[in-house]
Amino acid sequence: MHRTALITGGSQGLGRTVAEFLAAQGYDLVITARHEEELAAAARELRRHGGRVFALTGDVADPGHRQYLAQSARGLRRLDILLNNASTLGATPLPQLIDYPLDELDDAFRINVAAPLALVREVFPLLEESGGLIVNVTSDAALGGYPGWGGYGLTKAALDLASLTLANELRDRGIGVVAVDPGDLRTRMHQAAFPGEDISDRPLPQVTLPFWAWLFGQPREAVTGRRYRAQADRWEVNAAALDEVAV
């Protein structure tokens, strides 16, 4: 039986890059994003690798859509990887935390924290049966306290703690959980954080491929509970490495 992965935010950027990598490795995929045409185009390209690709347009913050994703994953009869990649930058232009609109902060937590956790719940039986790996995409904004990044950073710090807690709780049930900071990338979200600025000096998401190839080849018990930086010289973030975080 083919290995399978569910990837949110899978139509472009990092999610699309990881989906392409896994499809080339023979994975069947469930991918989701909010923009139908982009998602359909991504699915057509991914299917060229020969695997099954279910492309489901919707918002991961919508409970009905999460149920639909879980139903599609059940149609593939297993789930080896859940990549919680979809997220929102929150209020833009990036406001200082003291001025952050609280309704938009609520939305950011709903999308960046509650939705990934809720999706884990929806597909939990499949993950447990397959001994799957949950990958939550985080950011150095969770650690750095950078001016203007407070709202987004708060959500990613919460996701980091959720990842570690889940890893500790699910370790004995055979499920691995990691948090991965992909680093600054030339993506639509990163451009939105710097409107009008040239971000062509940032690398494309493909720069992270060596990390993903390594991570997905590791035993779940060897990586669970860890936080990684996909572009760093040393991928694993430990207590000593936290002092080295850079923008």
- Type of residue found at 175: I
H or E element at residue 5 = strand 4-8
Catalytic entry in 27, 100, 152, 228: 152
- CA distance linking residue 10 with residue 38, whole number of Å: 9
Residue among 43, 61, 63 at smallest CA distance from 52: 43
Where in the chain are the domains? 4-244
Is residue 83 helix, strand or coil? strand
Topology (CATH) of 4-244: Rossmann fold (3.40.50)
69, 61 contact by CB (below 8 A): no
Q: pLDDT tens, position by position, for the chain (247 residues)?
A: 689 999 999 999 999 999 999 999 999 999 999 999 999 999 999 999 999 999 999 999 999 999 999 999 999 999 999 999 999 999 999 999 999 999 999 999 999 999 999 999 999 999 999 999 999 999 999 999 999 999 999 999 999 999 999 999 999 999 999 999 998 877 777 667 667 777 688 788 999 999 999 999 999 999 999 999 999 888 987 643 344 433 3
- Give yes or no: 228 in active site: no
How much is the pLDDT for 19?
98
Residue among 136, 108, 107, 104 at smallest CA distance from 120: 136
Residue among 5, 6, 55 at smallest CA distance from 34: 55
